[in-house]
């Protein structure tokens, strides 16, 4: 049975229309949180909220627009009260080596994955400082730690920024009772890979030592990420900050 560790909390999940975001929203809601489901895909978050109910507030927001982020934080506060949890999950990825990368594609990657995540942090810190309690979980990537086959360096760089931000925030926000951690997923097949070729996906999937259901079973699933997020936003992790939790089926042991 799912524990109910998040009664009375108010959470924001960005990228909530995507695969991880949907799983994270369901999980935090099932543990008792009120959840604001943010995504630039408004239809996606509205559909998600319809399947769950009133404790989920769908908000269409592009996280690269800091004014829109501040407005969405205010709408979340107005609906549920002060924000206690932020899950920075929205992101994009693509294949592409430097000679295939344009100035624009580099800038877009940094703007969404790195800057957008930071605008979201900034928008919620007032609430957390006032309450002297807060949990921030940033979704990084194995790509930032060891690179990934075929994956664009701009993606690894943007997630490297997310990891650097995580440790800096953890160092400086601890005195306000705010814990900041990151989760580094390995390859989990989702919509984010829709622009990758079958061959590129096969290369990404190739070196996962642990399969969920035995050697020939499935790879990781979004619920694996949601379970890790739920731990890091719950009181069970109140003495954990500045850490990176790998959820990758042992991929880091393979290189």
Beta bridge partners of 135: 85, 179
Q: Interface with ligand NAD includes 182 (CB under 6 A)?
A: no
Enumerate residues 6+ apart whose C-beta is below 8 A from 168. Answer: none
Among 28, 34, 57, 116, binds ligand NAD (CB under 6 A): 116
Judged by CB under 6 A, which stretch of 1-9, 70-78, 87-95, 127-135 contacts ligand NAD?
87-95
Nearer CB in complex with ligand NAD: 41/146: 41
Provide the sign of the torsion angle of the four alpha carbons 50, 53, 57, 63, taken in this order: negative
160 near ligand NAD (CB under 6 A):
no
* Choice from 83, 188, 228, 230 touching ligand NAD (CB under 6 A): 188
Query: Binders of ligand NAD among 127-146, rule CB under 6 A?
Result: 139, 141
Identify how many contiguous H helices and E strands the chain contains and give both numbers: 9, 7
Runs of H (alpha helix) within the chain? 19-30, 42-52, 66-80, 103-109, 117-131, 142-146, 153-173, 198-205, 222-233
CA distance 196 to 205: 12
63 scored as a contact of ligand NAD (CB under 6 A): yes
The token pair at 143 is 């790509």
Binding mask 13-42 for ligand NAD (x = CB under 6 A): -xx-xxxxx-----------------xxx-
Rule CB under 6 A: which residues touch ligand NAD?
14-15, 17-21, 39-41, 44, 62-64, 89-93, 112, 116, 139, 141, 185, 187-188, 190-192
């Amino acid at each position: 049975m799912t524990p109910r560790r998040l009664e009375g909390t108010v959470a924001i999940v960005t990228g909530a229309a995507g695969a991880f975001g949907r799983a994270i929203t369901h999980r935090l809601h099932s543990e008792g949180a009120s959840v604001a489901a943010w995504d630039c895909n408004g239809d996606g978050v509205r559909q998600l909220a319809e399947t769950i109910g009133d404790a989920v507030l769908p908000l269409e927001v592009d996280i690269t627009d800091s004014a829109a982020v501040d407005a969405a934080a205010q709408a979340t506060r107005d609906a549920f009260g002060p924000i206690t949890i932020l899950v920075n999950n929205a992101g994009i990825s693509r294949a592409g080596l430097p000679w295939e990368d344009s100035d624009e594609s580099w800038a877009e990657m940094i703007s969404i994955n790195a800057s957008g995540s930071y605008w979201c942090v900034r928008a919620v810190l007032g609430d957390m400082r006032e309450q002297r309690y807060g949990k921030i979980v940033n979704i990084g990537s194995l790509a930032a730690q060891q690179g990934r086959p075929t994956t664009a360096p701009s993606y690894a760089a943007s997630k490297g920024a997310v990891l650097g931000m995580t440790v800096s925030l953890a160092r400086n926000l601890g005195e306000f009772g705010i814990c900041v951690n990151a989760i580094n997923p390995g390859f989990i097949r989702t919509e984010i890979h829709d622009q990758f070729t079958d061959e590129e996906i096969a290369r990404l999937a190739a070196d996962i030592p642990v399969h969920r259901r035995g050697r020939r079973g499935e790879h990781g699933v979004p619920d694996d990420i949601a379970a890790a997020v739920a731990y890091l936003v719950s009181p069970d992790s109140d003495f954990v900050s500045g850490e990176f939790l790998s959820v990758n089926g042992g991929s880091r042991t393979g290189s």
